[in-house]
Amino acid sequence: MEEKTRLNKYIAECGVCSRRDADKLIEAGKVLVNGKVAGMGVKVGKDDEVICNNVKLSSKNDKVVLAYYKPIGITCTEKDRFADKTLKDVFDYPIRVTYAGRLDKETEGLLLMTNDGELINRLMKGSNDHEKEYYVKVTKELGADFKEKMEAGVFLSELNRKTKPCKVDVIGPFTFRIIITQGLNRQIRRMCKELGYNVHALQRVRVANIELGKLRPGTFRKLTKEETDSLYASVGM
């Protein structure tokens, strides 16, 4: 016989709020179970549909992967008293999710958000060589040898290490596309600085097989089944 969970506990486990606040939502008639307004003391199982504040919930055991367009000015952390705005301030989802591979405050673009800790670990493991693609604009015209020097790897004096070889396509006097397989701290900005360039704009447009696509700053979407399956396969899961 299936073991069921009290509704307030289920809502809390989905990361929506505390059990006490879940009780308030239930009392206010803001929780539906299988299409009907739920009462206090209701229990739910894995096959029940729970909608809270017009959002369908998934249990903590369900794996969720989202593509999110992080705007400029948002710090990739939940708590930072020195940050003007953090992800927690601007990103809201019924299940508690976190990022797989951060972007610095001045960088915009694709963040993968998930509740799957193993997926995060595998995506962030540098030895797995997962591609990350960016569009970059610098403040002075690119030299004739820029592409060759970047692709060969650049020694970062601040980190005392050389970057792995990468792929670069120059697409304009001040702009280029770069594909890297590392995730060193502020890597692209540091690489450019070592070669005498300052980054004016930096946007991540792809992580592994997941593309930013037509997402607008501050919006997100759930990955399709095909995208999710391909992403998990790419990390050996």
Task: State how far the Cα of 124 lies from the Cα of 189, in Å rounded to an integer.
Answer: 19
Amino acid at 73: G
In angstroms, the CA 78 to CA 229 distance is: 28
| 104 tagged catalytic | yes
Catalytic residue among 104, 116, 129, 145: 104
CA gap 142, 203 in Å, rounded: 18
Exposure string for 160-197, b = 16+ CB within 10 A, e = fewer: eeebeebebeeeeebebebebbbebebbbbbbbbbeeb
Which sequence positions are flagged as catalytic? 104
